[in-house]
Amino acid sequence: MAAAAFAVIGFAVSISVSAGERRNEVALLRAVGAGPRQLTRMLGIEQAVLVGIGLVVGAMIGVLVARLVVPLVILTDRAVRPFPAVEVPLPWPRLGVFALVVVGLLALVLVGVTALLRRRTVTADLRLGDDA
């Protein structure tokens, strides 16, 4: 569960920084008529791609490390490799539930960030962009 907490915190920081850096872009899109749903969808698709890639690559690396390293570090009390060789069972249903929980938490973070973006005024953001 600590991994899920770190993933959610990292995602929240990432999307907050991304939204803050793109404040002018979001303000311009709102000024030309982009609705809140369109902005939410845009940020959602962008973050879904990043999260999807992260989950898939992270799972692949985790499985690879588990299959390659765990059999090498497990030794008997005589410091030899056990016979038969160690097999690493992977709990795919638990990993699937974990991935769904992480995706759900990330969706909640996305909703919170887009709610904060909706509160900002277009004129203030555009003026800020001119001064910067």
pLDDT in tens, 81-110: 888 878 888 888 988 888 888 888 888 887
Q: By mean pLDDT, which of 19-28, 57-66, 82-91, 104-113 is the weakest? A: 19-28
Helix, strand and coil content of the chain, in percent to the nearest 5, comes to 80, 0, 20
pLDDT value of position 125: 67
Which tokens in the block code for residue 102?
């992480």
Phi-psi region of 33 (alpha: psi -120 to 50; beta: other; left: phi over 0): left
Q: By mean pLDDT, which of 2-16, 25-39, 58-72, 96-110 is the weakest? A: 2-16
Cβ-based neighbours of 52, under 8 Å, separated by 6 or more: none
pLDDT value of position 132: 47
pTM above 0.75, yes or no: no
Contact 13, 114 (CB under 8 A): no
